[in-house]
């Protein structure tokens, strides 16, 4: 069974779900999912979790993301991107100096209201469903972090930004808010995802490359194995018996003090990922408590019954 991360360079015009569907069909994998939706008009890095790697999604979704975004000043749309209806226009366009000063104010921790056309829930229903029915509601603001925001080019009315942001950040909402701060409105006309955590677009394969695969062996060199999918988590080697204890949900004693309480680690046996665990307090001291276990981590077999012959 194929298991690992496959980095895809998503083309414009496809939904993230359609990319997953095509890869599943070509590679004939049963379990597959993407790690963070890209809108159909957006391009760039779309990591796919295949097989046992789908169990890692909960950890990988927390990774920061890096984008190259193109904004058009002077127009605002109802979706805050080029797919929407223009709702307001301005004749005024700010100077390059004004744009740079305004953009600098969005670096760091900010409050952001998700777009109306988004998958955020409002009273148990997706916002985009309410928007399609013409219901005007506003989601509660959420705190996100713009770790880095650089202006790459200004060619009015277009502005190209490069940004690194926390999970949950809507670049469309950033375009809207920057436009309003400048007093001229703005919307997103292009978006390319450059990185998800440690994984970069330069490492990705295209759907055209995937379509040429005749044998799954050909994809293995491009597949990131489970043991390398969480490079930010410290690695803890264990023997086979300890691995089987983890498979039964049993915690392992952790006498060392090199890890902080609550820290997550990769548990490896012979270089293979067998579990993701967290450091927890216990009556007898700290332990490594399993959060997820993987296919290579088989339960301990019961001892055979004694025979009378």
Question: Six-digit token pair at 20?
Answer: 């997953």
CA distance 19 to 35: 12
Residues 6+ apart with CB under 8 A from 48: 5, 6, 7, 8, 19, 20, 23, 32, 33, 34, 35
Closest to 40 (Cα-Cα) out of 23, 61, 57, 19: 19
At residue 80, the 3 state secondary structure works out as: coil
Closest to 66 (Cα-Cα) out of 4, 9, 149: 149
Phi-psi region of 258 (alpha: psi -120 to 50; beta: other; left: phi over 0): alpha
HSE, CB side, 13 Å, CA atoms: give it for residue 186.
31
Question: Six-digit token pair at 127?
Answer: 């916002």
Using CB atoms within 10 Å of the CB of residue 194, give its burial: 0 to 12 exposed, 13 to 18 middle, 19+ buried.
Answer: middle
CA distance 142 to 64: 16
Which residues carry out catalysis?
39
For residue 22, what is the DSSP state? H
Backbone angles phi, psi at 118, to 5 degrees: -150, 170
CA distance 199 to 186: 30
């Amino acid at each position: 069974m194929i298991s690992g991360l496959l980095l895809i360079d998503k083309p414009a015009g496809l939904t993230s779900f359609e990319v997953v569907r095509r890869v599943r069909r070509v590679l004939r994998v049963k379990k597959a999912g993407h790690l963070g939706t890209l809108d159909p008009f957006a391009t760039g890095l779309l990591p796919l979790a295949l097989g046992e790697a789908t169990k890692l999604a909960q950890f990988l979704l927390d990774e920061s993301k890096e984008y190259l975004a193109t904004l058009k000043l002077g127009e605002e749309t109802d979706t805050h991107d080029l797919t929407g209806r223009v709702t307001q226009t301005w004749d005024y366009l700010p100077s390059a100096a004004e744009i740079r000063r305004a953009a600098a104010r969005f670096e760091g921790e900010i409050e952001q209201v998700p777009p109306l056309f988004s998958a955020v829930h409002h009273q148990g229903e997706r916002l985009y469903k309410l928007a399609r029915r013409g219901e005007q509601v506003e989601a509660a603001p959420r705190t996100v972090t713009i770790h880095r925001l650089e202006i790459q080019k200004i060619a009015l009315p277009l502005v190209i930004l490069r940004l690194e942001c926390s999970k949950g950040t809507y670049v469309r909402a950033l375009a809207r808010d920057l436009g309003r701060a400048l007093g001229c409105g703005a919307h997103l006309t292009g978006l390319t995802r450059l990185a998800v955590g440690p994984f970069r677009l330069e490492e990705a394969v295209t759907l055209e490359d995937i379509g040429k695969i005749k044998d799954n062996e050909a994809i293995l060199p491009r597949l990131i194995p489970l043991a390398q999918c969480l490079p930010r988590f410290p690695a803890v080697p264990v023997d086979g018996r300890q691995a089987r204890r983890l498979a039964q949900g049993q915690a392992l004693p952790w006498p060392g003090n090199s890890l902080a309480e609550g820290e997550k680690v990769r548990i490896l046996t012979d270089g293979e990922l067998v579990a993701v665990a967290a450091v927890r307090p216990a009556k007898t001291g700290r332990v490594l408590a399993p959060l997820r276990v993987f296919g290579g981590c088989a339960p301990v077999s019961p001892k055979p019954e004694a025979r009378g012959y």
